Amino acid sequence: MPEIMESIAPLAWLRALLFIVVGFVIARLASRFFRRVSEKKLSTHHQLLGSMLVFYLLFIIFLLSGLRELGFSMSVLLGAAGVLSVAVGFASQTSASNLISGLFLIAEKPFEIGDVLKLSEFTGEVIAIDLLSIKLKTFDNLMIRVPNETLIKTTFVNMSRYPIRRVDLVIGIAYNEDIERARQVLLAAVQNHPRALESPDPFCIVTLFNASSVDLQLSVWVVRSELREGRSELLVACKEALDKANIEIPYPHTSLYVGNHTRPLPIQMVTEEPPVRGD
């Protein structure tokens, strides 16, 4: 091997090095040009993968050209690459599975960078999509790596897919209140609220006769980016409207009964006189 290296002329080394350096520069420029051209046509995910493909394809071509200048046979290199790929394939079956799963995800496009995904154990924003995995940033500032094969096999929810979201507010009223009047008060409270959308229309239904209250569900549509603020402000508006209409939001309470269910258990407060101390 040292004899072969010494037999290569310095000019060949120079040409090979020139091929590799120029190839690296051209590959970088072509990758950036691809991202700039496809900025308005492709998603961020596809721009990233396309630019990586352009870079590695061009760089490998120039690298092989540089090796050819050094006297390496392309047939030998391709044969060695084939044997190496088979060996690597057996040794990295999991990576190959993640790679194939990533290709399916690219074709299906169930999410993009910036979307919020809810998996079985956690929820986070997609910050990177790679060939083998995706990376999520949770709302408490943690980074989670999820293999592509896991995403293919499990169910996840894309919480950013559509531009609007429905906010479901569960509000309890006392049993002695007029349900229809309470419904109208709640609907009027959100009718002109700046966070609430006019279409689809908000609605209010009875959902449950709870232990201490009649539960109403007030459903309002808001813009996705205003979901957190909208939920809080709508709850405040409903509380203020119910207070203004003198509609009670009851505290949880428990009644005790003995024997006949119509007669409550009598309770009598007994106070004892404090003992008088002798002189």
The answer on 191 and 218 residing in a single domain is yes
User: Has residue 117 been placed in a domain?
Assistant: yes
Does residue 126 surpass a pLDDT of 50?
Answer: yes
Q: What is the CATH number of the domain that holds 130?
A: 2.30.30.60
The answer on 115 and 180 residing in a single domain is no
The answer on 196 and 138 residing in a single domain is no
Does residue 72 surpass a pLDDT of 50?
Answer: yes
Last residue of a domain, one of 139, 158, 177: 158
Q: Choose the weakest-confidence range: 36-40, 151-155, 231-235.
A: 36-40
User: Has residue 54 been placed in a domain?
Assistant: yes
pLDDT per residue as tens digits for the range 133-142: 888 999 889 9
Closest C-alpha to 119, from 150, 141, 90, 92: 150
Last residue of a domain, one of 38, 64, 91: 91
Does residue 35 surpass a pLDDT of 70?
Answer: yes
User: Has residue 233 been placed in a domain?
Assistant: yes
- Give residue 171's pLDDT: 92
Q: Considering only the C-alpha atoms of the chain, give the largest distance between any 2 of them, rounded to a whole number of Å.
A: 123
User: Has residue 98 been placed in a domain?
Assistant: no
Q: What is the CATH number of the domain that holds 190?
A: 3.30.70.100
The answer on 174 and 147 residing in a single domain is no
Q: What is the CATH number of the domain that holds 45?
A: 1.10.287.1260
Closest C-alpha to 63, from 22, 4, 114, 14: 22
167 forms bridges with which residues in the sheet? 220
Which residues span the domain enclosing 235?
164-244
The answer on 122 and 71 residing in a single domain is no
- Give residue 215's pLDDT: 93
- Give residue 52's pLDDT: 79
The answer on 187 and 205 residing in a single domain is yes
Does residue 261 surpass a pLDDT of 60?
Answer: no
Last residue of a domain, one of 142, 158, 174: 158
- Give residue 184's pLDDT: 94
Confidence of residue 274 (pLDDT cuts 50, 70, 90): low
- Which positions ≥6 away from 271 have C-beta within 8 Å? none
Q: Choose the weakest-confidence range: 5-19, 190-204, 211-225.
A: 5-19
The answer on 11 and 83 residing in a single domain is yes
- Give residue 90's pLDDT: 52
Task: Quote the tokens at residue 13.
Answer: 């080394």
The answer on 24 and 85 residing in a single domain is yes
- Report whether 128 contacts 134 (CB < 8 A): yes
Does residue 247 surpass a pLDDT of 70?
Answer: yes
Q: What b/e readout covers 94-106, taking b as 16+ CB neighbours within 10 angstroms?
A: ebeebeebbeebe
- Give residue 216's pLDDT: 93
User: Has residue 135 been placed in a domain?
Assistant: yes
User: Has residue 249 been placed in a domain?
Assistant: no
Task: Quote the tokens at residue 264.
Answer: 């409550």
Average pLDDT, the chain: 79
Reduced to 3 states (helix: H, G, I; strand: E, B; else coil), residue 217 is strand
Q: Which residue has the higher pLDDT, 186 or 129?
A: 186
- Report whether 192 contacts 241 (CB < 8 A): no
- Give residue 78's pLDDT: 60
Percent of the chain past pLDDT 90, that is, above it, reads 23
User: Has residue 269 been placed in a domain?
Assistant: no
User: Has residue 254 been placed in a domain?
Assistant: no
Task: Quote the tokens at residue 143.
Answer: 């980074």
Tell me the whole-structure pTM to 2 decimals: 0.56
- Give residue 5's pLDDT: 47
- Give residue 236's pLDDT: 93
- Considering its fold, how many domains does the chain have in total? 3
Q: Residue 140, Cβ neighbours under 10 Å: how many?
A: 7
- Give residue 237's pLDDT: 92
- Give residue 153's pLDDT: 84
- Report whether 235 contacts 169 (CB < 8 A): yes
Place of tokens 């493909």: 53
The answer on 20 and 87 residing in a single domain is yes
- Give residue 89's pLDDT: 56
Cα separation, 228 vs 224, in Å, equals 9
